[in-house]
Structure 1
């Protein structure tokens, strides 16, 4: 699915997107840029992928800066925030407007076989990382800003082998509602976006590259196909716009009607 990311506005708002070098994160970055937003995004290790996204945003007519971050290592967040402050200065700002907690990995393993180390890894990336990175960045987000935590359709639909992953994503959804209440006095809205099965390289590209899995997903989806990144990125960008200023503390599933 191809999209023309032509620049459509001249806003100077700034977003931070974790895991923005690939998949849904990359698509979100490009869709935000097309709506006039400058971007700071994180990547884990692939510098070439990050550089490609920076170049793509530049082609749209906006600015993007890629910062390396392991969102599972909360001990690195203080130094990361310092880099964010420096980068904001380079963008001519002191604060930013939007935070999208998107970075993540998957774990498909039977409950009885899941190790403590594997559970800790998922917890550190998907919950502890989201919790403390958001906490560290709060002094830099503008009043009236917006936060989106990316969850999963798997918090609603249960399959074998997802107990650890889906449970921790469920915790993120509860955290979202709590943050919406606590940050309300600052006018900051906090929502969850829960994608269904998307054809990216996530989980080793199983939905994208395995025809059997892709068909299974398509058969259980009301719109009759697996999702694409461009089904989700524009929705996130739209949710961050002022058009959705009264949407708060919500879990919004973007799945094409998966397992309705």
Structure 2
């Protein structure tokens, strides 16, 4: 029987320096991953990346931090090539990269649309492509999307709309990579209590989101806690391998399909 555990596995996490990605990197190392490559976007995130690398090493795993803007196919190709050179071919590849824009549809500029597409759709497409080329047989691939994919709401056309294609990318990739035993999933958290949430939301919207989930009153702030998302991702990239081609919304009852 195949071993679908975390122990002894090699991991790549795009956006793995801080917040959800950083906690996930630490968690997988604590669960026995032998090596973790964490990607970060800009030099401003390097201190957080260095802290995460140190924490991974303290857990007994090998670690490397790799900086790159993943909005070009070449950059994603290089990320995988550098990962393979540094720690070997990944068994697990996770993409947490994303960008939020909350704005009325008629005010979204072409430049904003292009940026959102590049960050949320294009980078995800090429991450899946390179994962399909480089992840070991019987590996696991997971992409972070958003629970807004299950919402009927204004103002998030450019955000949810550019995350939506990842659902089909996930289905297609899972069907194509399945013959190699590779599972491919996407996970959509609700609005998370991270620094990415607050700049995009005015006070009244923050109050709404903090009370919108069925289980809101049982979290620290009413929002999704990153600590509650990590176990789901860990499951999907280990014993949950039989679930593939799916987008799972994990949000305490914030939205559903």
TM above 0.5, yes or no, is yes
SS at match of 2:253: coil
Unaligned runs of 5+ in 2: 217-221
Contact 1:214 1:226 in 2 (8 A): no
Post-superposition Cα deviations, 1:25-49, rounded to whole Å, max 9, x if no partner, equal 1121111112111211100112111
Distance 1:205 1:233 in 2: 23
Distance 2:247 2:147 in 1: 10
Contact 2:174 2:244 in 1 (8 A): yes
Q: CA deviation at 1:81?
A: 3.0
Contact 2:150 2:255 in 1 (8 A): no
Contact 2:198 2:206 in 1 (8 A): no
Q: Provide the TM-score with structure 1 as the length reference.
A: 0.87
Post-superposition Cα deviations, 1:73-99, rounded to whole Å, max 9, x if no partner, equal 3232333333122112xxxx4x21111
Aligned to 1:189: 183
Going from structure 1 to structure 2, the CA distance change for 1:30 and 1:205 (only over 3 Å counts) comes to farther
Contact 2:132 2:177 in 1 (8 A): no
Aligned to 2:212: 220
Distance 2:199 2:36 in 1: 26
SS at match of 2:166: helix
Unaligned runs of 5+ in 1: 1-8
Q: CA deviation at 1:121?
A: 0.8
Residues 1:158 and 2:152 aligned together: yes
SS at match of 2:138: strand
Distance 1:186 1:102 in 2: 24
1:1-260 equivalent positions in 2, closer than 5 A: 11-37=7-33, 38-45=35-42, 46-88=45-87, 93=88, 95-205=89-199, 212-224=204-216, 225-241=222-238, 243-259=239-255
Q: CA deviation at 1:253?
A: 1.0
Aligned to 1:4: none
SS at match of 2:224: coil
Q: CA deviation at 1:13?
A: 0.2
Q: CA deviation at 1:158?
A: 2.9
Number of equivalenced pairs: 244
SS at match of 2:82: helix
Q: Provide the TM-score with structure 2 as the length reference.
A: 0.88
Aligned to 1:3: none
